[in-house]
Structure 1
Amino acid sequence: MNPVLIEVIGIIAALCTTLCWLPQTIRVIRLRDTSSLSLATFSIFVIGIVLWLAYGIMIMSWPLILANVFTLALNGTILALKLRYG
């Protein structure tokens, strides 16, 4: 398979799975309401993102690295606000 096509697929997948968290993050910031969000779920998810980021760095995959940096920023914000507002 064409390596460029593989990278394009990775980039598109990264954009989809990263940008899907933007509306939730905006909502949590605006409303300061995290009561319906699971602390356990977001905690485990953020740990997973950190591990995916470490993996991406180890294999030097820029789509993986960039997607996980942004996903970590979005979900880290949600987690921090969940810890602050319950």
Structure 2
Amino acid sequence: MTQRDIAGIDWIARFADRFSTIDRYDLLLGLIPAAFGVAGLAGRILDLPLEATLLCGVAVASLALFDGLFVRPPNGLQGA
């Protein structure tokens, strides 16, 4: 028997429904700020200059942006 919340809806099924709607472009958009966050954290831990950490963040974010716009661009058929 599965555990149900107050509304009587299985929370695991609800989570799976929301997780299944995440597509590749959502992940690419999430990667851009995550690249800056990880680069900033690595710069703090390794005591690197700010310019070096920003350059690393820009490199990863620009690769994600280039991939999403030019390598495999959206074709408009995902929402149809």
TM-score, normalised relative to structure 1? 0.35
Higher helix share: 1
Larger radius of gyration: 2
Q: Which has the higher contact order (CA 8 A, sep 6+)?
A: 1
